[in-house]
Structure formats: C-alpha cells, structure tokens
Structure 1
Amino acid sequence: MKIITKNKRATFEYFIEQTFTAGIQLKGSEVKSIRDGKVSINEAYVTFRNGEAFILNMHIAKFMQSSIFNHEETRTRKLLLNRHEINKIITAKEQKGYTVIPLTVELHQGLIKVTIALAKGKKLHDKRESIKERDIKREQLSALKGRYK
C-alpha cells in the first residue's frame, strides 16, 4: 500500500478508537489527480444518509489534462463499506458521541482506499499532554543520536 496523503491533525485533535478501510466512488479525472498526489483530507469528515456513508469536503484538485468534463473539487463522494461496518459505525456514533474522520488516502493494488476512524475529540489538557509526550520523545532521540556520534 502506498500512502498518498495523511490527515496529520487527526491524531492530535482526536482519540482514535477504531479504524475501517473503505473504497471511494470516483470519476476518472479524480483518480488521475489522486495518483498525482493532489488531494487533501484535512477538512474532510464522514456523514451517513439513508444507510450509506459519504465523505464531505475532501478536496481533489482538477486534472489539468482533462477535458471540459472535469469534476468538482469538493463534491460529496460515496464511501464503499459493508452493511455490517456501516451499522457498527452508525450505532457507535449515535450512542457514544463519536465522530468519523478520514485518516489516510492510499493506493492499494491499483484501487484508491480511504482509512476512516471512529474518533472522540480531545480536550485542551489532553492536547497539552500529547505535545509534552512528543517533545520528550524528540529529546530522547536527539540524546541517543548525540551519544553514538
């Protein structure tokens, strides 16, 4: 699997509880733009309508070599999940107050997949703890690198 783009803010903003891999219903020009790496999921989120999953605000840049029948950049796209997975996500989202966010867009055996996560938002003090842990790890790595020079 080749990771095309990552939502780096997701692990900082949310506690990730469970992940799912879903396909996306795309047009041809969208696939070509994604393979070029011109996709952003930083503002994207997942919603459910009539028992189906959709991803909103996923930005895919227009493919320059395409004709006049190019795609909209932030249109709503359908996610391809099993009924069992959709039901599991919907019940958890309704009962426990979770949100569903995309984590990565990846190329898997010629197909474009999205990894979505069932997540719960962090409070400000949780974010501060994440920053402290990241700084401690960075200092430990720099100390180890300095020792072995």
Structure 2
Amino acid sequence: MGEHVIALNKKAKFNYEILETWEAGIELYGPEIKSIRNHEANIAEAFILIRKKEAFLINANIKKYDYANFVKGIDPLRTRKLLLHKKEINKILKRVMLEKLTIVPLRLYLKGNYAKLEIGLGRGKKIHDKRETIKKRDIERKEMRKYKY
C-alpha cells in the first residue's frame, strides 16, 4: 500500500519554513477522485483555513472529470473539508494563534484507494532566507555537475 504523489506544492517549501506536518483526508465527490487518479489536480495556489473547529482546503483546483454523468456541476475550485481528528485541529489552531504560523498544503497523494493531503505548519521566510536557499541549491547543483563528469 504505497503512496502515489499526484500534486506537489513546490512554492510552499520555498516560501515557508515547515515546522511540522500532518496527514489529512479530503472529503470528495466520486468524479473528483477519478480526476485525482488522472493527475488532474493542482494545489499550488491552495490554502487551509480552520472555521468552527473544522479544517477546509480552499482554492485547490481539481479538474472536472470529463466522463462523469453527475447531475449538478462540481466547481473545480470549491471548498473541500479536511478530515482530521479534533485533537489535531486543536493542536494546529493553538500553534497558529500563539506562534503566528500558517497552515500550508504540501502534497496531494493517493494512499491505497484514498486521497490524502499532507499539510504543514510553516513560518514565512524573509527575503534573505529565500536568497540563502537559492544559493544552497546552486552550490548543490555545481557539486552534482562535478561528480557527473
């Protein structure tokens, strides 16, 4: 029962320093899970809000499944509920309030037959931190080129 990554949020690790991660289920309709299995999902511009002790994934684009015979049209950018335990939600909410952190979706993947979302608690990076990250990445690339040839 391996994990099959569908979508990554590459900007999240560049813009945020990820402190802790959780795995959350997503409440989906039938045609949406078929679209996810076809790799037609994007979480690059998505974010997570907690309202009334429930977590929601907002602005995640799960493309409409072409062959679905679904009566009501499903909005690709609709708000989707995240399935987390209340203890986890309370822990996340407490850290967000006290430490001024942000909840960020990191990756969308399939675990068995279920779609899961890895969410992270992150602190925004400053401009100089981002530059430092770019420098480290460039140095690693140069070292890899040396070993390659």
Shorter chain as denominator, the TM-score bin is over 0.9
1:13 offset after TM fit, Å?
0.6
Structure 1 residues 13-92: aligned runs within 5 Å: 13-67=15-69, 68-92=71-95
Q: In percent, how many aligned pairs have the same letter?
A: 42
Rounded to whole Å, the distance in 2 between the matches of 1:4 and 1:55 is 16
1:117 maps to: 120
Q: Say which SS state the counterpart of residue 9 (structure 1) adopts.
A: helix
Rounded to whole Å, the distance in 2 between the matches of 1:95 and 1:49 is 17
Q: TM-score normalized by structure 2?
A: 0.96
1:12 maps to: 14
CA contact (8 A) 1:63 1:70 kept: no
**Aligned partner letter, 1:102:** P
- Regions of 4+ moved over 4 Å: none
1:70 offset after TM fit, Å?
3.5
1:106 maps to: 109
Q: Say which SS state the counterpart of residue 100 (structure 1) adopts.
A: strand
Q: TM-score normalized by structure 1?
A: 0.96
Q: Say which SS state the counterpart of residue 72 (structure 1) adopts.
A: coil
2:145 maps to: 142
**Aligned partner letter, 2:27:** Q
Unaligned runs of 5+ in 2: none
CA contact (8 A) 1:15 1:120 kept: yes
